[in-house]
Amino acid sequence: MTERYFFDTDCLSAFLWVRKECILAKLYAGKIILPSQVYGELQKEPHLLARVDALKTGGSLRVESMAAGSVEYEDYLKMTKKPENGVRVIGRGEAAGIAMARRRGGILASNNMRDISFYVNKYKIPHITAGDILCEAMDAGIISEAEGNTIWSNMIHRRRKLPTATFSDYRQKFRIQADS
């Protein structure tokens, strides 16, 4: 089965802000699903939206909506309006990505672990982060570790919240754990 990747705004923006969306196109061409809520959030930044539209025109991604009244839309509403007791309301982009990945089958691409962890664990949704994507790009020979460190530094400079100071640190801390 061809995997589908449901991106939230933060994860996609991490690549858009540093002009490295080409990495996503090389790794996941035709497999990137952008919930319409995420596309809507990106309309606030016309230069980022132009890059998304270029990916769309090139066939690397498509924008998809949830039907009002559908089960996935009901999931979305619960996460954004009335979550379970003790669970915080999350953003529209994260909620749409979670609902779509859960109900349609696929991988959630999100950096916002604080918001998504409860749902990823509860529904056993596979997920990746910008760090995982950069590791995959390095493994595929698309970038070197040095290029990964430069991209990582640029993401941090653009106020993307990442879990380590460098890409090398991320690989050391998270990839070794994942391989164990």
Check which CATH number belongs to the domain holding 19 and give it. 3.40.50.1010
Q: Is 107 helix (H, G, I), strand (E, B) or coil?
A: strand
Distance CA 95, CA 88 (A): 12
Asked if 62 and 141 sit in the same domain, the reply is no
Where do we find the tokens 């009901």? 74
The arithmetic mean of pLDDT across residues 92-97, rounded, is 95
Q: Is 18 helix (H, G, I), strand (E, B) or coil?
A: coil
**What DSSP designation does 86 have?**
T
Helix (H) or strand (E) holding 131: helix 130-139
Distance CA 143, CA 148 (A): 6
Count of C-beta atoms within a 10 Å radius of residue 50: 11
At residue 178 the predicted structure's pLDDT band, cuts being 50, 70 and 90, is very low
What is the token pair recorded at 60?
A: 């690397």
What is the token pair recorded at 45?
A: 């930044």
Asked if 77 and 93 sit in the same domain, the reply is yes
Distance CA 68, CA 89 (A): 20
- The residue out of 107, 128, 149 marking a domain boundary is 128
Asked if 72 and 102 sit in the same domain, the reply is yes
Residues 6+ apart with CB under 8 A from 163: 131, 170, 173, 174
The arithmetic mean of pLDDT across residues 16-22, rounded, is 97
Asked if 30 and 97 sit in the same domain, the reply is yes
Report pLDDT for 174: 80
Q: According to the 3-state scheme, what is the secondary structure of 61-130?
A: EEEECCCCCCHHHHHHHHHHCCCCCCCCCCCHHHHHHHHHHHHHCCEEECCCHHHHHHHHHHHCCCEECH
Domain count across the chain: 2
E-state strands within the chain: 5-7, 32-35, 61-64, 107-109, 127-128
Q: What percent of the chain has pLDDT over 70?
A: 96
Please, which residues bridge with residue 32 across strands? 5, 61
Write out the residue range of the structural domain in which residue 174 sits.
134-179
- The residue out of 109, 128, 147 marking a domain boundary is 128
pLDDT digits (tens, 9 = 90+) for 48-82: 999 999 999 999 999 999 999 999 999 999 999 99
Asked if 148 and 121 sit in the same domain, the reply is no
**Is 151 within 8 Å of 167 (Cβ atoms)?**
yes
